[in-house]
């Protein structure tokens, strides 16, 4: 029996106005992810990878179609409802870590949990567990400026999953790292996805890493299609 999709894009349209022209980025885009699945999104710059991730993650509204997250249609929800869903059910990782420089690694991972309403003690305990899992627990009290690029990105991944989301969306998470460090970070991310049952869509230019995921997709004329 097939596992039910945790996120679906159904006939999603996304357009931008460029002067008097309408620029179509997503055109009848359909896609789904199941728990524990890692899918690589491989497409050239400007093809719409970030737009796809932002739409799937409810940062942008579709102009047509809908985004179904855990069985709930989200495209027409209010801003407050979409924000609550993002906070609880969606984790984001970007090419640049965007850690808060004035806080330690532990505090950075605690932050989304505190915003969700957990107590400082609860948030600290989970943050420490996640940093240990990412093999960076010994650096918990260090600020981002005291961490290497790979360490910073591992903290960013831990922060992204701190609230136990259903879906992880990553935009070139290893793109700013050297190949060896990228491999270490990807291994940690992959183990986390498999262990926790996350559904992960990862945009990457790294074909070697893409080949290690469950399947690969690309964007062609605004549609999401398998990449052979």
Contact predicate 224/51, CB 8 Å:
no
Does 135 reside within a domain? no
Does 120 reside within a domain? no
pLDDT given at position 3: 67
Question: Residue 62 belongs to a domain with what CATH number?
Answer: 3.40.50.300
- DSSP count for the chain of H helices, then E strands: 7, 10
- What is the number of structural domains in the chain? 1
- 11 vs 31: CA distance, rounded Å: 9
Boundaries of domain holding 94 = 5-98+147-224
Sequential pLDDT tens for the chain (228 residues): 356 889 999 999 999 887 778 888 999 999 999 998 999 999 877 778 889 999 999 998 999 999 999 889 998 889 999 988 888 899 888 877 789 999 999 999 999 999 888 999 999 999 999 999 888 899 999 999 999 888 998 899 899 889 889 999 998 888 777 888 888 888 888 888 888 888 999 998 888 888 889 999 999 888 999 887
Q: Copy the structure tokens of residue 223.
A: 């549609």
Strands 21-33 and 167-171, by their bridges, are: unpaired
pLDDT given at position 1: 37
Total Cβ atoms within 10 A of residue 79: 9
CA atoms 118, 120, 122, 123: torsion sign: positive
Does 169 reside within a domain? yes
Does 125 reside within a domain? no
Does 118 reside within a domain? no
């Amino acid at each position: 029996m097939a596992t039910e999709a945790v996120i679906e894009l159904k006939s999603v349209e996304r357009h931008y106005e460029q002067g008097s022209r309408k620029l179509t980025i997503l055109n009848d885009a359909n896609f789904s992810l199941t728990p524990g699945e890692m899918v690589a999104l491989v497409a050239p710059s400007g093809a719409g990878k970030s737009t796809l991730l932002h739409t799937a993650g409810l940062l942008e509204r579709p102009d047509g179609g809908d985004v179904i997250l855990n069985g709930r249609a989200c495209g027409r929800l209010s801003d407050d409802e979409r924000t609550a869903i993002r906070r609880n059910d969606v984790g984001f990782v970007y090419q640049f870590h965007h850690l808060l420089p004035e806080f330690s690694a532990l505090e950075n991972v605690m932050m989304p949990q505190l915003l969700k309403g957990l107590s400082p003690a609860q948030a600290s305990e989970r943050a420490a567990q996640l940093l240990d899992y990412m093999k960076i627990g010994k650096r918990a009290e260090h600020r981002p400026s005291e961490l290497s690029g790979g360490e910073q990105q591992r903290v960013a991944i831990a922060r992204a999953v701190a609230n136990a989301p259903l879906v992880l969306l990553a935009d070139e998470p290893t793109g700013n790292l050297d190949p060896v460090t990228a491999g270490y970070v990807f291994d940690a991310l992959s183990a986390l996805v498999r262990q926790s049952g996350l559904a992960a869509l990862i945009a990457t230019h790294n074909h070697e890493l893409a080949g290690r995921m469950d399947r690969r997709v690309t964007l062609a004329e605004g549609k999401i299609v398998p990449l052979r």
